[in-house]
Each structure stands twice: as C-alpha cells, then as structure tokens.
Amino acid sequence: MAILSILKFPDPTLKKVSLPVENITGDTVRLVQDIVETMYAAPGVGLAAPQIGMLQRIIVIDIDYENPGKNLIKLVNPEIRRAEGELIWEEGCLSVADFTAEVKRAERVEVVGLNEKEQEVKVEGEGLLAVALQHEIDHLDGKLFIDRISRLKRELYTRRLKKMLRSGKPRPESPGLMI
C-alpha cells in the first residue's frame, strides 16, 4: 500500500466529474486502501479518489480520529438518497491549503454505496459525519467546499493563493484534521 500525493487547488483535476466504478477489482481494493492510508497520513477525516488524481467515485471517511480504523467508512459509487435539515459547519479541505469557511449543508443524510465486496451499504449520518459525506461526494462531482461559499470569500482566497505561488513561498500545510 502507498501514501499518495494529494492534489491542491487550483489543480484542474479537482474540478472534473468522476466516473462510476463499473467493477470492483483487486486494483480497486488496493486503490481504496491507498486512499485510506493517505487520509490517515495527511491527517484528515475524509478523502475522495479525485483528490489523489483518480477520477473514480470512491470516498473514505473516518471521523473517529481517536480510534483510527474502528469506524472507517469506505464507499464506492456513493449517492445521497436523503437529506434533511440544515446546519452551518466550519469546513477545511486537504486540497484547499490554509483556508476554512462556514458552509451550509444538510444536517442529516442517508448515503448508499458499495463496499469492497460489491455489497450495498447504507450509511446514515448527522453532524460531522453528514458534513464529511456531503463534502467527499462533492469532490466526486468536481466541487470543492469553496464553491459553496460567497464569491467574495472565494476570490479573496484565490488571490491570496496566487500571490503566495508567485512569491515562491511553499504552500502551508493544512492545520489539524481536515475533511
């Protein structure tokens, strides 16, 4: 298994829609494990395949950072089947360096996908789990959390990032656990 590089905004791959996984093969299972290892190493509470440059509909989430692996969720071809309520959550992202913002999301979601044995799995989440599920599925649809904030905040972040990249300064690492 391997720890892979996480793509950073404004990499154009992050804006592309991922393709469904047709068949879960040994390569798929290895990719899922690589995504898990990369998420834990980052450290993050979620990671989607497009963030490592693979345009496949695969996400992994583990919001129980005190017991890594105990409540790990691995989903292939996840879909939100139900969303209820509303909450505002301060989000960050492993692909969006040094920036967090409040994002409006559904408070509770029901997500259906496949596990590594091609069996259907249903995940019901609220709070952080609901946010993480929605955040990672957004990645599969070519959306970043900054696409869900005001244009002004997004432009301020983009200008700051471009200035930093022009100056040759290294990108800051994401602080703490990120979605």
Confidence of residue 3 (pLDDT cuts 50, 70, 90): very high
CB atoms inside a 10 Å sphere around CB 164 = 15
pLDDT in tens, 144-157: 999 999 999 999 99
Looking at the annotation, which residues are catalytic? 136
Mean pLDDT throughout 35-52?
97
Are the C-beta atoms of residues 51 and 137 closer than 8 Å to each other?
no
Euclidean distance between CA atoms 6 and 52, whole angstroms: 5
- Reading the block at residue 127, the tokens are 């709070």
pLDDT-derived band at 1 (thresholds 50, 70, 90) equals confident
| pLDDT tens digits, one per residue of 88-130 | 999 999 999 889 999 999 999 999 999 999 999 999 999 999 9
C-alpha–C-alpha distance, residues 155 and 151, integer Å: 6
Query: In Å, what is the CA distance from 20 to each residue of 16, 34, 165?
Result: 13, 18, 34
As a whole number of angstroms, the distance between CA 72 and CA 93 comes to 18
**For residue 174, what is the DSSP state?**
P
Alpha carbon separation from 35 to 20, 43, 116, 150 (Å, rounded): 17, 12, 13, 30
Tally of CB atoms within 10 A around 20? 11
Give the DSSP letter of residue 42.
Answer: T
Tell me the C-alpha distance between 37 and 89, whole Å: 25
**CA angle (109, 138, 136) in 5-degree steps:** 70
Statement: residue 174 has pLDDT above 70: no
Was domain 12-167 assigned CATH 1.10.3720.10? no
Find the Cα–Cα–Cα–Cα dihedral 12, 15, 21, 26, rounded to 10°: 40
